[in-house]
Amino acid sequence: MDCVQQKIADTLIDSYHEIGGINRIDSANLPSKRTITSTCERLLQLLFPGYHDEDPIPADELEMITAERIAVLVESLEVEVAKSIRLRDGETGEAHSGLHQLARDLVCEFLGHLPELRRILQTDVEAAYEGDPAAKNFDEIILAYPCVEAISIQRCAHCLYELDVPLIPRIMTEYAHNLTGIDIHPGATIGTHFFIDHGTGVVIGETCVIGNHVKLYHGVTLGARNFPKDENGRVVKGNKRHPNVEDHVVIYPHATVLGGKTTIGKSSTIGANVFLRESIPPNSFVTTVGEELNIFNKLTGEPVVTAEPTA
């Protein structure tokens, strides 16, 4: 190493000692982003056999191929989940007794949910086919629609989130975000027949609860209205911050719906570019004229009066 390179190294090492909070030295290893990315790809192969493969899958080899893929996932995920549990439980040294068995049990429990996830994902593909007149067939939707990848990975990540596996679910959904432009937090709870048309720029927050047969367009945000702070001025974690969206709701492009106390009643339609911070009853149609918010009952055409939002 020449003198210039040595000087760079020395000053960088000095910065490691001076600047805290963004170093991880003499600590337990964290989950590998590269491995988690590969995990997402392998999960898509299991969820949609034949769609994410270079070669055809013969029916008489399906059992063997599936078993091999599960075995690979168990081995790789066990290592990453063990790292995450150590992080969650404050272990800084080598694996404590039983850690890897606990990790393996969690991975097996997670993978045991895949058949049910496939059932739900079939409804998502059906919703895309029924909801988009440009869709020619299921093959096109599974291979070409970004919402399928984003929703599939989020549903897997949500299972791990529910099992209290830290960090890995967020890495998974951020991988999907980078891949598709659709940002769905792993904590969001999403019902069946979910379709995101186009998808770019959609944001769905951690505490969102979305019902069945919901359709979103590009640019929709289901976000937080504010961030309560404690007596020390720090943002309070874990509270309900994001809206609920009931069954059969359609939200058009670039609409923003905010707040943990906000509920979009079933069978409602939110127009494009609407900015909404209050609950609306079922069967509502919401539009904006300039800065004015207009809410009508879809069945009667009568205006709807809502209470001022409180959070």
pTM of the model: 0.91
Q: Are residues 92 and 231 in the same domain?
A: no
Residues 167 and 81 in one domain: yes
Three-class SS of residue 67? helix
Quick check: 268 and 284 in contact, CB under 8 A?
A: yes
Q: Is the pLDDT of residue 89 over 90?
A: no
Q: Are 172 and 257 within one domain?
A: no
For 221, which DSSP code? E
Same domain flag for 104 and 53: yes
Tell whether the model's pLDDT for residue 88 goes beyond 90.
no
In a domain, 16, yes or no: no
Q: Is residue 220 one of the residues assigned to a domain? A: yes
Structural domains in the chain (count): 2
Average of per-residue pLDDT values in the chain = 92
pLDDT at 91: 56
163 has pLDDT over 90: yes
Maximum mean pLDDT: which of 7-11, 94-98, 254-258: 254-258
Picking from 147, 181, 215, the residue at the C-terminal end of a domain is: 181
Per-residue pLDDT at 310: 45
At 177 the pLDDT is: 98
* Last residue within a domain, chosen from 123, 146, 181: 181
* pLDDT at residue 109 is higher than 90: yes
Residue 311 has pLDDT above 50, yes or no: no
At residue 93, does pLDDT exceed 50?
Answer: no
Whether residues 163 and 225 fall in one domain: no
222 lies in some domain: yes
Size of the chain in residues:
311
CATH number of the domain residue 100 falls in: 1.10.3130.10
* pLDDT tens, position by position, 118-160: 999 999 999 999 999 999 999 999 999 999 999 999 999 999 9
| Chain centroid to CA 184 | 3
Q: Is the pLDDT of residue 162 over 70?
A: yes
Structure tokens at 130: 């029924």
Name the token pair of 220: 């929709």
Residue 234: the pLDDT is: 82
Q: Are residues 146 and 118 in the same domain?
A: yes
For residue 95, give the nearest of 109, 80, 108, 107 by alpha carbon. 80
Give the pLDDT of residue 235: 79
Of 210, 294, 197, give the one whose Cα is nearest residue 253: 197
39 and 167 co-located in one domain: yes
Which stretch of DSSP H or E encloses residue 229? none
As a whole number, mean pLDDT of residues 281-286 equals 97
- DSSP structure class, residue 235: B
Q: Which residue has the tokens 């509502």?
A: 284
pLDDT of residue 172: 98
Residue type, 226: N
187 falls within a domain: no
Q: Give the residue numbers spanning the domain of 260.
A: 201-311
pLDDT at 231: 79
pLDDT tens-place string over residues 166-195: 999 999 999 999 999 999 999 999 999 999
Asked, for residue 1, whether it belongs to a domain, the answer is no
Residue 176 sits in the same domain as residue 216: no
**Separation of alpha carbons 235 and 227, rounded Å:** 6
Least confident piece of the model among 24-33, 71-80, 118-127, 129-138? 24-33
pLDDT higher than threshold 70 for residue 96: no
Which whole number is the average pLDDT over 244-257? 98
Task: Specify whether 176 is located in the same domain as 222.
Answer: no
Shared domain for 37 and 168, answered yes or no, is yes
Q: Exposed (0-12), middle (13-18) or buried (19+): which is 155, by Cβ within 10 Å?
A: buried
Shared domain check, 224 and 169: no
CATH number reported for the structural domain that contains residue 311 in this entry: 2.160.10.10
Q: Is 54 helix (H, G, I), strand (E, B) or coil?
A: coil
